[in-house]
């Protein structure tokens, strides 16, 4: 059973977390180092009254740290990450990053809009993944910090030029991170274009609610508010079918451990080497924020809820993490040591007419939000 007891500021004060003092800023900055081409990277740290904090850099809008208390009030960093900005450019499997223009895969990097055919940069076998060779995860973003009475936020902005990575239209993008005193981390995506294009933005943090160096996530309990998913072929491209999860390992409607069915002999798990699929959320409103997923870590008692107004969520169980990357503090990033819950439109939607549309036209606004809500029991 999943419980939703929020950690209180008073408990944290008694158990080692440090709430904000009067007249102390919620936002601090420091150097995160430099890239080999000389560009400096800055880390912004947002803190709240509960003593929690999130660290975000202007390279890729990457979440490099997220310190959240456990049921005893002890803080731990619960996202996988790296120690240097150059590692994020050359070694990272999108750890903590904003991904776009199109999160997830597009078959053979091709799609058409009207009479016009487009060919994208290929960077995942024969397919385009997460925006291409130089996606939003590798861009430097302009950052404007802001503090409210019970939150701190960063507004990140950039312009993706017409033709970049093969995508049409000049896209003006703003991503707002907000971290409040209730340990809610929200991510809002806002974009406009001067030419018809496709867009699908997401946040690619790898979570381990026991702590980033705690090993396997297979004992985490996961619930997905989804009765259907989009099956894939052996290159992880959706077949176009929207299939029921009933009587399959893909059924997370009732909480179960990530590891319970991950090695079941099922074609979808063979193709992905585990879970790496899009679930079709059971939405009850057209645009409202609804619960998409709940994850609970039994040792620490940390719980994360994911709320969104997106139609789908990609659950990835860290199958391709293989121990070849040395992460924060010299800790090796091992197999299935982190999981992703990427709210999104469906993969390959530009080529799947029965999927929700990812078209963005001039004069329209792309406006999507995801909220990660942290608590303990």
- Cβ atoms of residues 189 and 367 within 8 Å: yes
Distances (CA, A) of 173 to 47, 113, 141, 159, 201: 25, 21, 10, 6, 10
Within 8 A by CB and 6+ apart from 110, the residues are 117, 118, 119, 120, 351
Residues listed for the chain: 377
Rounded-to-integer distance, Cα 377 and Cα 375, Å: 7
Q: What share of the chain is helix, strand, coil (3-state, %, to 5)?
A: 10, 40, 50
Rounded-to-integer distance, Cα 73 and Cα 327, Å: 25
SS3 for 86? helix
Burial class of residue 145, CB neighbours in 10 A (0-12, 13-18, 19+):
middle
Rounded-to-integer distance, Cα 242 and Cα 363, Å: 31
Of 212, 277, 342, 345, the active-site residue reads: 342
342 is catalytic: yes
221 is catalytic: no
Q: Is 122 left (phi over 0), alpha (psi -120 to 50) or beta?
A: beta
- Cβ atoms of residues 120 and 128 within 8 Å: yes
The alpha-helical segments, DSSP class H, found in the chain are 9-14, 85-90, 267-272
Of 204, 220, 221, 345, the active-site residue reads: 204
Active-site residue set: 204, 342
């Amino acid at each position: 059973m999943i419980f939703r007891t929020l950690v209180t500021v008073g408990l944290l004060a008694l158990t080692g977390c440090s709430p904000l003092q009067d007249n102390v800023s919620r936002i601090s900055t420091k150097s995160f180092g430099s890239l080999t081409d000389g560009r400096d990277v800055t880390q912004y740290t947002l803190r709240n009254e509960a003593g929690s904090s999130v660290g975000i850099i202007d390279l890729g809008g990457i979440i490099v740290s997220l310190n959240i208390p456990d049921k005893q009030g002890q803080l731990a960093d619960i996202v996988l990450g790296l120690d240097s900005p150059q590692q994020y450019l050359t070694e990272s499997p999108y750890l903590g990053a904003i991904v776009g223009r199109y999160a997830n895969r597009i078959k053979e990097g091709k799609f058409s809009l009207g009479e016009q055919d487009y060919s994208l940069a290929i960077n995942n076998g024969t397919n385009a993944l997460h925006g291409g060779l130089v996606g939003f995860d590798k861009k430097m973003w302009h950052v404007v910090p802001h503090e409210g009475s019970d939150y701190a936020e960063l507004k990140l902005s950039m312009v993706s030029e017409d033709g970049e990575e093969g995508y049409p239209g000049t896209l003006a993008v703003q991503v707002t991170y907000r971290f409040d005193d209730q340990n809610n981390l929200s991510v809002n995506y806002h974009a406009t274009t001067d030419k018809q294009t496709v867009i699908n933005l997401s946040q690619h943090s790898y979570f381990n609610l026991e702590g980033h160096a705690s090993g396997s996530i297979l004992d985490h309990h996961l619930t997905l508010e989804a009765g259907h998913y989009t099956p894939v072929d052996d290159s992880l491209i959706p077949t176009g079918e929207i299939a029921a999860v009933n009587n399959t390992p893909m059924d997370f409607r009732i909480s179960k451990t990530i590891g319970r069915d991950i090695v079941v002999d099922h074609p979808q798990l063979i193709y992905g080497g585990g879970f790496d699929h899009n679930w079709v959320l059971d939405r009850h409103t057209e645009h409202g924020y609804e619960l998409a997923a709940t994850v609970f870590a039994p040792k620490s008692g940390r719980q994360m809820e994911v709320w969104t107004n997106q139609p789908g969520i990609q659950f990835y169980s860290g199958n391709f993490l293989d121990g070849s990357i040395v992460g924060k503090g010299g800790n090796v990033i091992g197999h299935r040591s982190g999981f992703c819950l990427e709210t999104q439109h469906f993969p390959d939607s530009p080529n799947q007419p029965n999927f929700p549309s990812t078209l963005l036209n001039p004069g329209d606004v792309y406006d999507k939000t995801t909220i990660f809500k942290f608590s303990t029991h």
